A and B are shown apart, each in its own frame.
Chain A
Amino acid sequence: MNFLSSGPSPSTSHCRPVLALSLTAIFVTLLGGGNQAAQKSTTEDKAAEINARKVPQISFTQQIRPILETKCLECHDPEERKSNFEVTSLAALLRGGKKAGSAIIPGKPDESPLVQYIEGRRQPQMPKGRAPLSDEEIALFRMWIEAGAVDDSPIVDAGRDHRSGAAEPEKSRAGERGSGRAGDSKSLLNTALFSEDNEQLMILRRSLRLAMLAKPPIPPQVETVTFNPIDQFIAARWKEAGLSAAEHQPELCDDRAFLRRVYLDVIGVIPTVQETGRFLSDNSPDKRAKLVDELLARREDYAAHWTPFWEEALGSQTTRVQGGIPTRGNYRDWIFKSFANNRPFDLMVAELIDPSMPGHKQAGQINANGRIYSVAYIRSDTPTDTLQSAANVAQVFLGTGMKCASCHNHFLNEEWPQARFLAFAGLFAKSDLELVRCEKNSGKFIPAKFPFELPDAPLIARQNNVEARLHRVAQLLTDPTNPRFAKTIVNRLWKRYFGLGLFEPADDFRLDRPPSHPALLEWLADDFMRGGYDLKHTIRLILTSRTYQLRYDPKLEDHFDVVKPAEPRYYRSPSLRRLTAEQLIDSIRTATTQILEPRKRTYLDKISTALTRSLGRPASRNEISTGRPDDVAVLQALELLNGEEFNQMVYGGSILGQLARHLNDGTSANSFFYSETPPVTEQKTALAAASNNFDDVRLVSVLNALYLISLSRPASQEELSAGLRFLKSSLPPPSRRMNLAPVEEVWLDDNLPPGAKTEGGGRGDSWKWVGRPEYPVFSGTRAHTQGGDNEFSQHLVQGATTPLRIGWRDKLFTYVYLDPKNPPSEIMMQWKQSDWEHRAYWSDSDRKEGSPDPPSRHWMGPLPEKGEWVRLEVPVTEVGLKSEEGITGWSFDQAGGVVFWDKSGVVRIPIDPMLETLGDVLWALLVSPEFQYIR
């Protein structure tokens, strides 16, 4: 954007100098003094520079990483992470641990903590409790660090076939990487041979079977700039098709587009202003690769972004019965943990299917209507259950739609006669399945058999035992010689990051519908398997490719049309992708609060709303799906326009208040800029001196802040002008802007609201009024407490004739007193609208990783101070209360201890026209296509 290079310039218009001055300031702030225009023009050169960088004498992949994996990985793997330190990648080494910071300082072996630890100059000497490294090994580290500590893995080091001449170490490593288990192949073999652990056997089998694979296709030589082999395949295809892109490569996207794209793709949210600043002001040539690593290392955020996809793909449900039919159970935590720990994908899938895997997920037994059902991903209670389980596995993990073939030969896919599918499905049953054609039993049983030929593998299962059959099918499914498995998942990754798969539809791999880049697909699948079925490895490869980093261009965008499946796709531009419900909501929360709270991420929320449903998030996952349509519909638009939930998020975030204060009194809006820059107020003061219109300066900085929080960039000159016009025509003049004081309305003190009745929670609890002098009272003559002595007790009021009216911005308050001698372990309040699904609680105990924090159970913080009256406040939006209906019930709950409660009610925050106007600007930015789409 050209506005960035425009400096102060003489102008006739009144606000022009202000604009220009202020822009420069923002600009300086943004770039930390750098020059973005210059930077942008050299991105390409720098990329080429990385590419051309010489391979150092010591190879990270071939010499350093094997040592790290055999000597260090046991404790410093992604699961153990002793001292918060892992050795899985160069980025991890650079990030370092909590003790010494960055483990290596490139070029400075003596100062590198890693060298100090292995040499024993720092204690404890590493590897702790084991024999020290040999002098030769230490020397390798020193030389590698001396030479700049370069990662020569194929992602960074593009031009070279990384496997040539390194087949052996690669192969043995493939078996281990990501598995969290160290050891060379020989010790691995011995451990596994004597192990009862199917996971170990599987890892061993994987490494032996990988050795049987034919060599993958060699990335074609091309003359254009490539970052890694992916680009070679893609560029070769351009040349083959005679596209001009072969000579004139499509441009890379600018840093801002990349920043948003990669944030949304890896962790599912936009960056905060701080993060934006850090990246945009970073001038290092490999900043994009660094960012990819940084984001991939945010394991919980990464897992949070993957979880909804897999919940839908597996049909994971939080209820155990649905429509009177048992579900497959709840896999949310399992999915989250598997991705947070980057479990090798083959182990994950085996774990899902094979009951003999140590991590097998079994949701248990339930009793519905007197019947016992098993709840498991694979269900085989009836032949229909079996067929559906098998069809689901085929669809999700083999990219093959087989449902049609359940009852007859596949209509459209000759590859799948019914008998072939039934043979496959038989592997998921306790015995062979009968051929039932169009609802007529044939008396003919089809022997179970895996549908693909795998060399030297037993493809059949004769035991009449479902566990044995599932064990077998899990082996065959994930076997390296079964090409469909790896191709299906790498294609899903490709589709996730480019918008369109190498084969489409991604669930319907057909012989008669070849992928757009067969050799690339094969190469990616091969690389994925040899890399230890490591999803992050392949994701990193894709995200650091030049192809992923191309600029969005609708003229070059590919499309897929089921009617014309053979239309080629060239990937000269990514596809424009609409944000998912989770990406949108989490990003808006990030924008309006500048905090990404892992426990508040939308995927955890069990509440389905009109907004989430309209945005395509399924209300229940009763049927599996591996992707959502990114339709636009009036129903959605009405939610964005008038939906209370959406507008609450936009207008209710803390950010608007801060900006309004800045506008009012010039309070620092520093937090919207970058920490390493001088406080904005100083700049503003300087600017103000140069301007006659203090208000304009503030308006401009507020507008820029709004652009930064929402679109992760400052506003252009034209955008500032448009924004100023809008603000000036809508805002009250400065003299009439005021902060209206909040108004408190008491609902419950010494008396109940009219019509309301008190109740206990139903287990002998009751409502008990207490008074001075025996008991503490905050207001009036009495307080209340619970009357029973249950461990978990509640007392409540409900049935008020006039509901307590609330507005979006309002807060509910109460006063509470915890007995210091006998405090509770948790306190909670619940509110009733149409239901009681609105709870806020205070507790000291740490909650479990990934445990939900929906409005129906919202953690407010640790327990308040004991032995004194404390005021508690809960914003109504935090607990999902709607302003359309009032509150008719209020419950006071505690876990153990003695607790007194007093005056309760609502704090009404008056509508502030200034806040509303800023909110209108923010609304427009958050609804704008630039925010709603990934480009």
Chain B
Amino acid sequence: MSKINRREFLQAGATAAAGLGLSPFAHAMQSTDSGKSAAKLIPKADAMILIWLPGGIAQTDTWDPKKHTPYRPGMKGSDILGTCPSIPTSADGIFLGQGLENIASAMNRATVLRSLTNETKFGAIHLKAQYYMMTGYLFPAGVKVPSIGAAVARTLGRRNPNVPPYIYIGRDIDTSDEEKLFISEYTGPGFYGVNYAPFMIPDPAKGLSTLNAVGEMKLDRLDRRQEYLRAITGLAEKELQTANKVSDYMKVMEDARAMMDSPVKKAFDYLKDERPETIKAYEPEIGQGYVQDKSYYFGNRFGHGLLLARRLVEAGARFIQVEYQYGPFKGFDMHESGKSRMVEMKKQIDRPIAQPIRDLAQRGLLERTLVVITTEFGRTIASQPAAGKEPEGFAERHTGEDLVIENEKMYGFHGHFSSGNCMLFFGGGFRKGWLYGKTAKSHPMVPVENPVNLTDVHATIYKALGIPADTSYVTEGRPFYVTKDGKGKPIDALLA
């Protein structure tokens, strides 16, 4: 049976057998729920890709390079300003750390924010800082706080009725304890509920498993099974059939089936559809054999995730988050060997991040697609390279005067730095080739020009998407806002 026929058949079946609504898509259409706000904004972006690089990236080696101070045994911590040379970019006056040449070539389309700072100093606690970055609220907030993705999904709804509004790529869900599950919670829908939960795609190569028929089941059997479900539902008690909750439920079952044939499904066939050189362009420049920690290497997962994200934007997705999976003391969470590990990490992200920017721009989609890159906090020089030895907030003002760098392992940025962090924005109504904020040349490298807080940054992102910062939804009988207490003020200097 061809797709068109099958769909017509489904619709007819639903109507005739159960008397349940006309279109399997009706529910999807209704699921926009724009929340409450007095303001009206004109959106600059229709879709967003959030590239999430948790672990705490050393901004001094990447987005905010400082003077290169090569390693010498016995140097003082305070002498380390940058572990790599700066490179020019396609944007005048904007330099990045060496190793980000591909991203550098796309910087003429970027806004770099270098002066993000936090009042709260998160100390050793990554998860709390990550929670803050993803939700805009400090944990515990007293309410199950929705993530940015959920807020966008709820407020703007679906762009295409058959493409989920919030898709999350690149993280295994570790269910072994609640501590680990906590991570899922702050990228989740919070009190908004399951309708705004992300569609989790741990591995882009495997796709979204529930879009494929389970086990060895053939599609025609799946459809006959669902047809039988409609038939017996049509024989149920009248009271059940006429209940709105039941017709909603049956509609959602149809909606799910329709999604199996939708463009989102097609987006997963990237290995088949894309040219080999395109696929290659999304892959990292370093193989597993060349990384120090071989247990923490995800191969093409991150890069292919970004390729998939691009394809999903083309298919009509609203919000896609792509993560370079967080692991304590792994990836960007560098305490020892900060320099050499940073070199590796840059090789892992440079090409994959630059490519979707190029592709989206080339397709004319970047204008209406916002791509944001962020991490939970920056890095500084701590009193000790080892993790967890720092008194809370101490690293923030520590200058490394009394730290002697005895060996190369200690050379790098190893202290968590909540006072200074960077973010990158491409397209979607942000300025191009634009630099905002400035940090000190020596430790502590706090913002010295235009410091901004996260609430206002979130408000700026929301503004680009056409979402007022005081948009609220009711929980426990009170309004709860997409930016903290509805008070975010967009930073117009970042917007075109």
Residue numbers of A with Cβ under 8 A of B are 1, 317-319, 321-325, 327, 369, 388, 391, 395, 401, 403-404, 406, 411-413, 505, 507-508, 510, 551-555, 557, 562, 576, 578, 606-610, 613-616, 618-623, 625, 629, 631-644, 647, 651, 716, 718-719, 722-723, 726, 729-730, 807-808, 834-835, 837, 856, 883-884, 911, 916, 920-921, 923-925, 927-930, 932-933, 935
Is A622 a contact of B140 with CB atoms below 8 Å? yes
Is B197 a contact of A613 with CB atoms below 8 Å? yes
Tell me the minimal C-beta distance from A776 to chain B in angstroms: 36
In the complex, what distance in Å separates the CA atom of A607 from the CA atom of B228? 32
Q: Which of B235-262 contact A (CB under 8 A)?
A: 235-237, 239-240, 242-246, 248-250, 252-253, 255-257, 259-260
Tell me the minimal C-beta distance from A679 to chain B in angstroms: 28
In the complex, what distance in Å separates the CA atom of A935 from the CA atom of B243? 10
Neighbouring B residues of A319 by C-beta, 8 Å:
177-179
Could you jot down 27 A-B contacts, CB within 8 Å?
A317-B178, A323-B125, A323-B131, A391-B142, A403-B142, A510-B477, A553-B239, A578-B245, A608-B175, A614-B197, A620-B182, A623-B144, A635-B164, A635-B195, A641-B253, A642-B211, A642-B214, A644-B214, A647-B215, A723-B232, A730-B224, A835-B176, A924-B229, A928-B229, A929-B243, A930-B236, A933-B249
In the complex, what distance in Å separates the CA atom of A828 from the CA atom of B304? 40
Neighbouring A residues of B221 by C-beta, 8 Å:
730, 916, 920
Name the 5 nearest CB pairs between A and B, nearest first: A324-B125, A637-B256, A508-B477, A638-B210, A323-B127
Residue numbers of B with Cβ under 8 A of A are 27-28, 123-128, 131, 139-145, 164, 172-179, 181-182, 184-185, 188, 191, 193-195, 197, 199-200, 209-216, 221-222, 224-226, 228-229, 231-233, 235-237, 239-240, 242-246, 248-250, 252-253, 255-257, 259-260, 388, 474, 476-479
In the complex, what distance in Å separates the CA atom of A403 from the CA atom of B182? 22
Neighbouring B residues of A403 by C-beta, 8 Å:
142-143, 476, 478
Known pairs A551-B239, A554-B242; A324 contacts B231 (CB<8 A):
no
Neighbouring A residues of B233 by C-beta, 8 Å:
928-930
In the complex, what distance in Å separates the CA atom of A586 from the CA atom of B316? 38
Tell me the minimal C-beta distance from B231 to chain A in angstroms: 5
Is B179 a contact of A322 with CB atoms below 8 Å? yes
Neighbouring A residues of B197 by C-beta, 8 Å:
613-614, 633, 635
* Of B229, B237, B248, B476, the contact of A927 (CB 8 Å cutoff): B229
In the complex, what distance in Å separates the CA atom of A508 from the CA atom of B479? 13
Is A401 a contact of B231 with CB atoms below 8 Å? no
Neighbouring B residues of A325 by C-beta, 8 Å:
125, 128, 139-140
Neighbouring A residues of B199 by C-beta, 8 Å:
635
Is A644 a contact of B177 with CB atoms below 8 Å? no
In the complex, what distance in Å separates the CA atom of A319 from the CA atom of B183? 14
Neighbouring B residues of A718 by C-beta, 8 Å:
235
* Of B126, B178, B245, B246, the contact of A621 (CB 8 Å cutoff): B178
Tell me the minimal C-beta distance from A357 to chain B in angstroms: 26
Tell me the minimal C-beta distance from B418 to chain A in angstroms: 13
Known pairs A323-B131, A401-B477; A930 contacts B240 (CB<8 A):
yes
Neighbouring A residues of B222 by C-beta, 8 Å:
641-642
Known pairs A642-B213, A718-B235, A928-B229; A623 contacts B179 (CB<8 A):
no
Besides A632-B245, A730-B221, 12 other A-B contacts (C-beta < 8 A) = A322-B182, A324-B123, A411-B478, A610-B173, A620-B181, A621-B178, A622-B185, A623-B144, A634-B195, A636-B194, A637-B252, A911-B216
Known pairs A321-B179, A610-B200; A928 contacts B216 (CB<8 A):
no
Tell me the minimal C-beta distance from B193 to chain A in angstroms: 4
In the complex, what distance in Å separates the CA atom of A406 from the CA atom of B123? 25
Q: Which residue of B lies closest to A395 (CB)?
A: B476
Is A629 a contact of B228 with CB atoms below 8 Å? no
Neighbouring A residues of B242 by C-beta, 8 Å:
554-555
In the complex, what distance in Å separates the CA atom of A930 from the CA atom of B235? 11
In the complex, what distance in Å separates the CA atom of A921 from the CA atom of B213? 17
Neighbouring B residues of A638 by C-beta, 8 Å:
210-211, 256, 259
Is B245 a contact of A562 with CB atoms below 8 Å? no
* Of A562, A608, A615, A620, the contact of B474 (CB 8 Å cutoff): A562
In the complex, what distance in Å separates the CA atom of A619 from the CA atom of B245? 25
Is A631 a contact of B193 with CB atoms below 8 Å? yes
Known pairs A632-B248, A634-B255, A637-B256; A562 contacts B477 (CB<8 A):
yes
In the complex, what distance in Å separates the CA atom of A658 from the CA atom of B185? 41
Known pairs A324-B125, A325-B139; A644 contacts B215 (CB<8 A):
yes
In the complex, what distance in Å separates the CA atom of A505 from the CA atom of B166? 29
Is A625 a contact of B240 with CB atoms below 8 Å? no
